[in-house]
Structure 1
Amino acid sequence: GVPYTLRQVNYSIRDDQLAEFVLKDTTNSLIRPGINYDAYLLDDERFRVTNFLRNNGYFYFNRNYILYKVDSNLQSRQMDLTAEFLQPVERQRETGQSIEKKHLRYRINNITVNTDFRFMPDEYIPNDTLIVPQWIRYPERPYKYYFLYYDNLRITPPTIDRFIFTRGGRFYRIDDANLTYSRLSNLAITRFVNMNFTPVKEFPDEGYGLLDAHIDLGRNPAQVFSIEAEGTNTGGFLGMGANLVYTNRNLLRGGEIFTLKLKGALEMQRSLGESTTFFLNFNTLETGIEARLNLPKLLLPRRQQRYARYAAPSTTFTTGLNFQRRPDYTRYILNFSFGYEWRETITKSHVFIPVQLNSVRIFRSDEFTKWLQGLRDPRLIYQYTNHLVPLTRYVFTYSNQPLRINRDFVFLRAGIESSGNILSLFDQTFHRAQTEQGFYTWLGIRYAQFVRTETDFRYYKFLSPKSNLVFRLAGGIGVPYGNSDVLPVEKGFYAGGANGIRGWEIRSLGPGNYSNPENLFEKMGELWLESNLEYRFPMYRFLHGAIFTDAGNIWMLSESPDFPDGKFDASNFHQQIAISSGFGLRFDFSFFVFRLDGAFKVKDPAKSPGDYWVDMTKFQLRDITLNFAIGYPF
């Protein structure tokens, strides 16, 4: 039938102070004259008003104080709606009568932080108390923190203060309380957080009261040792690895996280000649050490409280040394980075790394050197020579994925990085000498100069609580210039593999129409485009299935004699798009997901133009490429 509409929206509020707040916020109301009557919308408005009032000091206000009355006797399919705000009621012990009270606004008084809560009443464990004035002072009195601790104060008061947004002298705000809980919970040293508010004094005539806040922090062990094991499958070549990890969750008593990782791995790889076997049939050895220090703040000469509300900020230092012994070359990688990470809003986050330095030294086998020298494109030789990559990088991430709710959402990650510009400017300004080949070096190593950008967009459409459709569109471009003729091998783009176009083995697709079955080495490009469509559905308990289609390729930005037909051409690049489809099984054990995807080629740009589309009447099981992986592809 024809729905009822609201003719008038009225308010009945006997509390003058409360009425002032409610009426000044009616411009944000979800209900207004002219809209259709909707019981769910009224409930949403009740929640919105309650949240608004609790952010203005009304600590005890809840949605049950809002009552809607509807008059539908207008004989015009219209309604008059009245929102009545009830008063709190208190029963008198002496008389047994119930009397109405005023809604009071509460200010925060003092804050007590138990820094080592142990699930035992405080009177059984003697504790010390450190009293620290809060930043906000009122003329009548300074508001204080009371820090309770046992033996030693394991985390400094300024660190805790930086993550407490409920402040003495201010009116209670539920958003401040929730943000305090969230930020303190994010500290690695914190195992759990409890927050309680207790009224200490009320002034009904003035319409306000005072609340003391009590925060209990349970601590995790500061020092932890762990062992990580992993298995890999790179284009059908198996590998295994293990890491020994030491973590200190509170290195300097400020919530700093220090991690020291020793890494070791074995893998099978293709070889151009004879290769050494380290264990069983594994001919690739990788070992390394990595140190990482994460500070829960932005290391900048500015007051930290300014950032913490919005940001959950952190500063990270990372350094490491990696040794790789592969069949065709031995490589040493030394790296150092320093960067910031912070949130702008709940959906937007940023990563800015002003300094990242990678130094790569390569010692090639005779067979590999001979193979490189036989290439007609000298740019590819540079990929496997010593090089220095000084980077500056920025990454923006947007995700509106709701917590604990299966609702449609989007994910976007976009990044840009540049290398070598500052060194190049210095070299040219001071007229530093070039090598015979015409490029500059630092510490005897040629440095890379390029700009590179990459974007990854995903849309998740839920068809039911347990099934969804995922669309992904990704791409990137890297442009070498100045001191570089080609991108470093670790900054190139690759296609194929478990997280890309699954009908091809990892790094075996492209570039463009290039085809050479005898070239088994990794195919690298300077331009990358990829799109994926995947339908995910439940099968049986922890077993889930997926049907997918992947499309894309990589290209060179200029002609390469070693990769004919590999250059990007806007007029016909669509003919060079590779397509594969397949079916996957996902074993979802909650704490991790094991994935097996089988894919076959639908369109192969490496074939002659008339044979791009694969003849499915000749399909055989050996045409399926199997991909084993941990986690979802995107």
Structure 2
Amino acid sequence: MNTPFHLKGYAAKIGIFLLIAVLTSCNALKRVEEDELLLTRNSIITDGEKVVDDDINSLIVQKPNTRVLGYPLRLNLYNLAKKDPDSLYQAWLYKKPKREERLASFLSQKQVEALGESFLVKGYSEWLKKIGEEPVIIDTSRTRKTLQRLSAFYGNKGYFNNSTTFNVVKDKRKQRAGIDYIVTLGKPYIIDSLSKNIVSPAIDSIYDLNKISSFIKEKKQFDLTDFNNERQRLTELFRNTGVYNFQESSITYNILWDTTSVANDPDLNVELNIENLRKRGDSAVTTSEYKVFSFEKINIYADYNFGDDPSELQSLEFENYTIFFKDRLRYKPKALTNAIFLQKDSVYRDLDRLRTYRQITNLNTFKYPNIQIIEDSTETKLISNIYLTARSKYSLGLNLDVTHSNIQRLGIGFSTSLITRNVFGGAETLSLSARGTFGLLSDTNLPEDFFSEIGADINLTFPRLWFPFFNTKKLVPYYMIPQTRISAGTSFQKNIGLDKQTLNTILGYNWSPDTFRNNNIELLNILYVRNVNRDRFFNVYGSSYKQLNDIASADIYTGDPLLIDFYEPDNEPDDPELAIPIGTSGFTDAILDGTVTSSTDDFIEVSRIEERRQRLTENNLIFSSNYTFTKNNKSGINDNSFYQFRINLESAGNLLSALSYVFPFNENDNNSLLVFGVPYSQYVKTEFDFIKHWDLKSSNVLAFRSFIGVAVPYGNSESVPFVRSYFGGGSNDNRAWFPYSLGPGSSSDINDFNEANLKLAFNLEYRFPIVGNFKGALFADAGNIWNVWDNVDDPAKTFSGFNSLGDIALGTGLGLRYDFTYFVFRVDAGFKTYNPAEVPSKRWFRDYNFGNAVIQIGINYPF
């Protein structure tokens, strides 16, 4: 049985050896002429110190060939290509006088010509050149261009008298060299005095009130970046204090050398100039003073289409807004004005205009709005025309999926959704969706191999915080894009697991103070889970059945006449099997109630199996509330240096517990209170998730994630519901273990679905480019799950203090990704580096080879 795995591992080792042999045999100097030098490194040295700043090193024009984990992969791929495949083919074709004639008679002249363009002759060389990289030969002209860049860069930092040179340093290896760029900085120039020359009185007054925030200060070293930042600051300042038409080009600086300062202490005098507004007419350019503008009138054009004649529209006045519409107004006026932050008699603020764009777009009722700003005849008042074009009131979506997994041989899924906009006239959105999956199960031992799962959801979204008898506008202004979501959903399974039926209802609120922070509150989240076929537990959870059957297979039980009816009648004498469900439940009851004498170990093991069965088969009723806060500083999709953290707090069962003091609830045999015949869950749960990315250089990224989560049952519950528990392993967790296969703790009895109520996870991944859209990764995943403060008493599965941190599993591995621009497809191979389920002497590097690697497939990066 082991022979195929040995052969597989042997073949993998041979393949890796051959790959290494091919790559190392490549000659990096194959395309380097005798009088040329291959560039191997660059260094920038300023005043004797090596520069490590990536931004400064990016100024170097000519960089060495890229490397993948220290190996010049793309260079050697390029060197594998034929230098001139056309000439080589022609030389081969005419080497023998009649070769072309014989080929033409056998094929055809056209096919002979096509052969020269084929992939085997020419195509593969062109492909290798395309994905490869030419050798970087030292070019002194490009080196001098780098010196110019360095001189200009340090000049912008105030080192006006810097000097630059370079040295070509040959390596000990043949025809290879590095370049040292040497910069002598000299004394930096300091800003000695600041002055201003602002023509427009309004601009001058605004500047004086806000000059304390200036980036340019006396006695500070000259830095051109400060001047650019100050220009942006002033432009934003003026445009947010009424000067809607301010032009950044109006800002200039005069920089004068202080002729009285000595050479060792060079000083600068800086004068800020802000000119008047320049207007270009048909024949000349005129200037005028900048003025502070306020709004005289704000017009809202609802349901506007290009080409509409405003004179044919009806209008109404509402809270200092004029709303124009056709025939009838389909929106509540307040729903429109709440999304607009430009107000009559208030000064113009660019920030209000941007917030208006953002909020109207977020309504999901209108297309991107057109906001027009017009000066009136007084040149101090503005008229704003806001044109809103409605999106389609109804939209229908359809999706079809074909799936395959370890549960289903073949599954065909569909989903459909109908979106209705502006349901009640207040820009509300109603979404109705239905989904279904049908197919064949992988487990052919089940009575039926056909399964189905259907579900439906209804979601209603309000573009405001809806809370009776409480005004939330002051607490959460509309520019924070508040939303209220009311949803309800249900699903039904047949021939999947225990055939769950679920019902879920949510009342939630969401708002974002800015693009970097988000708050989400689910005031009420009700989840009801009903297990229809609880007797199928041991059919579904085969590992639990095996554990119980192994105990029941002992001679002391198989020979007991009180248990004989619990075994399958057609069993082999040496391989008895408990009947499901009568045999499994009967044997368990006989052991636990003492009908049959058992050993202490068997009693404990059977009680643990029964506890797990009861917990996973019981119906769940969860009344919970939760709050989630998310923050990140990612500036854009290409920002590879950012952080993100998320904190979540959840509490369940407290409302029902309070009501139990008012209304008499029934109790079950375990003294748990029942609501509609189901014991309600009571627990508190908290999670903290932190992600940090470091942009190293050349598209290399180091990514880190840490996760800590714990859910503590109390009151009416002794354990956390399965749907709220944690699991370890999987493509987004510890990739050396499959989902649900890690832990809890150091336990070695692997269940079908291992879960617990405490989780620690830490991930570190180094990502690097390989060739083209192919990316690579090296990763280390650490973590585990444990039981804590619940009814699990197995010491191997429980967290008992710092000593339990020794159960943290470590998986390491490598991954390959392909970037499709819109998403990333990835394959990861994880290796169990430290496995706490093994005995201590065999935990490190047990079965650490490709034959025992765990292959995980995922979409997009795991974190």
State the TM-score, normalizing by the size of structure 1: 0.89
| 1:590 matches 2:821 | yes
Partner of 2:431: 259
Secondary structure of the corresponding residue to residue 218 of structure 1? coil
Contact kept, 8 Å, 1:549 with 1:582, in 2: the verdict is: yes
Contact kept, 8 Å, 2:452 with 2:496, in 1: the verdict is: no
Match of 2:456 among 264, 289, 309: 289
The aligned amino acid for 2:809 is A
Distance in 2 (CA, whole Å) between partners of 1:268 and 1:597 is 28
Residue correspondence of structure 1 range 525-544 to structure 2 within 5 A = 525-544=756-775
Distance in 2 (CA, whole Å) between partners of 1:590 and 1:567 is 44
Deviation at 1:269?
7.1
Contact kept, 8 Å, 2:498 with 2:536, in 1: the verdict is: no
Match of 1:146 among 297, 311, 323: 323
Deviation at 1:428?
3.9
Residue correspondence of structure 1 range 506-585 to structure 2 within 5 A = 506-517=739-750, 519=751, 521-557=752-788, 563-585=794-816
CA gap of 1:603–1:429, structure 2 versus 1, over 3 A, is: same
Deviation at 1:271?
6.1
- Unaligned regions of 5+ residues in structure 1, if any? 135-142, 204-208, 279-283
Deviation at 1:191?
2.2
Distance in 2 (CA, whole Å) between partners of 1:155 and 1:199 is 28
Of residues 378-387 and 29-38 in structure 1, the stretch that sits farther from structure 2 once superposed is 378-387
Deviation at 1:121?
2.5
CA gap of 1:514–1:560, structure 2 versus 1, over 3 A, is: farther
Partner of 1:161: 337
Secondary structure of the corresponding residue to residue 572 of structure 1? helix
Of residues 381-390 and 32-41 in structure 1, the stretch that sits farther from structure 2 once superposed is 381-390
The aligned amino acid for 1:78 is D
Distance in 2 (CA, whole Å) between partners of 1:329 and 1:66 is 72
Distance in 1 (CA, whole Å) between partners of 2:376 and 2:710 is 62
The aligned amino acid for 1:474 is F
Contact kept, 8 Å, 1:456 with 1:475, in 2: the verdict is: yes
Deviation at 1:563?
4.9
| 1:359 matches 2:359 | no
Secondary structure of the corresponding residue to residue 122 of structure 1? coil
Residue correspondence of structure 1 range 190-589 to structure 2 within 5 A = 190-202=366-378, 209-230=380-401, 241-266=413-438, 274-278=446-450, 284-300=451-467, 301-303=469-471, 305-306=473-474, 307-364=476-533, 366-368=535-537, 371=545, 374=588, 375-377=606-608, 378-380=610-612, 381-404=614-637, 406=639, 408-428=641-661, 432-464=665-697, 466-517=699-750, 519=751, 521-557=752-788, 563-589=794-820
Partner of 1:206: none
Distance in 1 (CA, whole Å) between partners of 2:850 and 2:408 is 22
Partner of 1:66: 251
Of residues 306-315 and 364-373 in structure 1, the stretch that sits farther from structure 2 once superposed is 364-373
The aligned amino acid for 1:619 is N
| 1:633 matches 2:862 | yes
The aligned amino acid for 1:294 is T
The aligned amino acid for 2:491 is N
Contact kept, 8 Å, 1:397 with 1:413, in 2: the verdict is: yes
Contact kept, 8 Å, 2:318 with 2:333, in 1: the verdict is: no
Partner of 1:77: 266
Deviation at 1:596?
2.5
Deviation at 1:451?
0.8
Distance in 2 (CA, whole Å) between partners of 1:79 and 1:385 is 79
CA gap of 1:290–1:236, structure 2 versus 1, over 3 A, is: closer
Distance in 1 (CA, whole Å) between partners of 2:414 and 2:857 is 18
Partner of 1:139: none
CA gap of 1:27–1:405, structure 2 versus 1, over 3 A, is: farther
Deviation at 1:477?
0.4
Larger % of strand: which? 1
Distance in 2 (CA, whole Å) between partners of 1:603 and 1:440 is 43
| Cα distance per residue 1:601-628 (max 9 Å; x no partner) | 2111111111111246x6133x122222
Distance in 2 (CA, whole Å) between partners of 1:227 and 1:540 is 37
| Cα distance per residue 1:357-408 (max 9 Å; x no partner) | 1111112353526948554235421232112111111111111211355252
The aligned amino acid for 1:508 is S
Contact kept, 8 Å, 2:485 with 2:509, in 1: the verdict is: yes
The aligned amino acid for 1:516 is D
Contact kept, 8 Å, 2:443 with 2:449, in 1: the verdict is: no
Contact kept, 8 Å, 1:341 with 1:352, in 2: the verdict is: yes
The aligned amino acid for 2:389 is G
CA gap of 1:117–1:407, structure 2 versus 1, over 3 A, is: farther
Deviation at 1:2?
2.0
Distance in 2 (CA, whole Å) between partners of 1:92 and 1:484 is 78
- Unaligned regions of 5+ residues in structure 2, if any? 1-185, 540-544, 546-583, 589-605
Secondary structure of the corresponding residue to residue 254 of structure 1? coil
| Cα distance per residue 1:304-340 (max 9 Å; x no partner) | 6543444200000111111123454111111111111
Deviation at 1:88?
2.4
Deviation at 1:187?
2.0
Contact kept, 8 Å, 2:622 with 2:653, in 1: the verdict is: yes
Deviation at 1:272?
11
The aligned amino acid for 1:447 is Y
Distance in 1 (CA, whole Å) between partners of 2:680 and 2:281 is 82
Secondary structure of the corresponding residue to residue 502 of structure 2? strand
Deviation at 1:37?
0.5
Contact kept, 8 Å, 1:383 with 1:486, in 2: the verdict is: no
| Cα distance per residue 1:525-583 (max 9 Å; x no partner) | 11000011122333445443332221100001158778550111323223211111222
The aligned amino acid for 1:7 is D
Distance in 2 (CA, whole Å) between partners of 1:188 and 1:254 is 12
| Cα distance per residue 1:182-237 (max 9 Å; x no partner) | 1111221222222121111225xxxxx11111222233222111123446676797
Greater RCO, 1 or 2 (C-alpha within 8 Å, sep 6+):
1
Identity of aligned residues (%): 27
Secondary structure of the corresponding residue to residue 248 of structure 1? strand
| Cα distance per residue 1:453-511 (max 9 Å; x no partner) | 11111012222474422110001001111111111110011111111111111111100
Match of 1:45 among 191, 207, 230: 230
Secondary structure of the corresponding residue to residue 607 of structure 2? coil
Contact kept, 8 Å, 1:108 with 1:167, in 2: the verdict is: yes
| 1:128 matches 2:357 | no
Partner of 1:137: none
Deviation at 1:171?
0.8
Contact kept, 8 Å, 2:189 with 2:221, in 1: the verdict is: yes
Secondary structure of the corresponding residue to residue 361 of structure 2? helix
CA gap of 1:150–1:463, structure 2 versus 1, over 3 A, is: farther
Deviation at 1:597?
2.3
Distance in 1 (CA, whole Å) between partners of 2:388 and 2:434 is 32
Contact kept, 8 Å, 1:460 with 1:468, in 2: the verdict is: yes
CA gap of 1:126–1:211, structure 2 versus 1, over 3 A, is: closer
The aligned amino acid for 1:102 is E
The aligned amino acid for 2:758 is L
Distance in 1 (CA, whole Å) between partners of 2:280 and 2:399 is 60
Contact kept, 8 Å, 1:515 with 1:607, in 2: the verdict is: yes
Larger % of helix: which? 2
